[in-house]
Amino acid sequence: MKKDTIRELVVLSGKGGTGKTSITASFAVLAEHAVLADCDVDAADLHLLLTPHVEQRHDFFSGREAIIDPLECTGCGLCLDVCRFDALRTNGTDYWVDPVGCEGCGVCVRFCAAKAIDFPERQCGEWMQSTTRCGPMVHAHLGVAAENSGKLVATVREQALKLAVDRQFPLIISDGPPGIGCPVIASLSGVSLALVITEPSLSGLHDLQRVLALARHFSVPTVVCVNKWNINPRLAERIEAAALSAGAAITGRIRYDRAVTQAQLQRKAVVEMDAAVADDIRLVWQQISQML
């Protein structure tokens, strides 16, 4: 399989909790020969439904962090003056860097007269290559309070693409992060199709518009699906109208159904359950797979 014939679908939501991961897991079951990528590295949940068997683990490094060597530090306090991120701490005599606040800019390292500040690479998490009942999967785990999930998302996508090339899989399905910030940009750029799962609430509508603006910015074809539409049918209609006028296509609706939670509890994808909502998802997948 050549790289440029591989298609990539990313499932986004803008707002969190719209059912993105449950729907992605269902697509994973329905798609034949797809590589799965969990790009929601901040709160990765796809593995809870697909119970992967981990084959490889790799440490993930991103950026650097400043660390003061107390033996070399002369206590001049210059680092405190040059840091713009409020990351330097002192009790009057000793100085240290708060790792959570450190931006990794290296300014204190460069200007420390005693050369007492180390600047090692920062380990921010790990990524894994696994097998699941639906095919190979690349997923990751970001360290607590760690930064730069954008680069980790890029790593997950890159590894998923490599797997697709090696194993001759024509499709990558990725579970994207919520929001519109750096991890979303990293998961969205250059994909073949973005599916935005939203819900009929004012927050859902508002966040949808922001994520659609982002998709337009990156010229990614986008389709929208309203999940739990029957919670507020009028708003569901309004959301679909807004999506259409923003240049996105509409692809089916998915009803509110407790079977979604039941599926989670049984560690299954919704389409592996006997429920009406499973049929809704199958219809959506039919339309999506034709667009890919």
Shortest reach from residue 290's CB to another protein, in Å: 26
The span from the CA of 273 to the CA of 3, in Å, is: 35
Strands (E), 121-267: 121-132, 135-142, 171-175, 193-198, 222-227, 249-254
Q: Does 85 bind another protein (CB under 8 A)?
A: yes
Shortest reach from residue 190's CB to another protein, in Å: 5
Count of residues binding another protein (CB under 8 A)?
74
First-to-last C-alpha distance (Å) of the chain? 16
Of 53, 91, 145, 290, the residue at the interface with another protein (CB under 8 A) is 145
| Residue 5 to residues 11, 47, 138, Cα–Cα distance (Å) | 20, 27, 20
Of 10, 11, 21, 194, the residue at the interface with another protein (CB under 8 A) is 21
| CA 7, 13, 17, 23 torsion-angle sign | negative
Q: Does 179 bind another protein (CB under 8 A)?
A: yes
Q: Does 8 bind another protein (CB under 8 A)?
A: no
Q: Does 174 bind another protein (CB under 8 A)?
A: no
If the CB atoms of residues 129 and 149 are measured against another protein, the closer one turns out to be 149
10 Å Cβ neighbour count for 112? 21
Q: Does 178 bind another protein (CB under 8 A)?
A: yes
What type of residue is 262?
Answer: Q
Q: Which stretch binds another protein (CB under 8 A): 37-45, 89-97, 168-176, 274-282?
A: 37-45
Note the Cα 138 to chain centre separation in Å. 12
Q: Does 167 bind another protein (CB under 8 A)?
A: no
Of 210, 241, 276, 286, the residue at the interface with another protein (CB under 8 A) is 210
Shortest reach from residue 46's CB to another protein, in Å: 10
Q: Does 82 bind another protein (CB under 8 A)?
A: yes
Of 32, 70, 94, 111, the residue at the interface with another protein (CB under 8 A) is 111
Of 84, 92, 93, 245, the residue at the interface with another protein (CB under 8 A) is 84
Per-residue DSSP letter, 239:
H
Q: Which stretch binds another protein (CB under 8 A): 128-136, 195-203, 241-249, 273-281?
A: 195-203
b/e 249-270 (16+ beta carbons within 10 angstroms → b): eebbbbbbbebbeebbeeebbb
If the CB atoms of residues 3 and 53 are measured against another protein, the closer one turns out to be 3
The span from the CA of 164 to the CA of 31, in Å, is: 14
Q: Does 176 bind another protein (CB under 8 A)?
A: no
Of 54, 76, 202, 276, the residue at the interface with another protein (CB under 8 A) is 202
The span from the CA of 260 to the CA of 277, in Å, is: 8
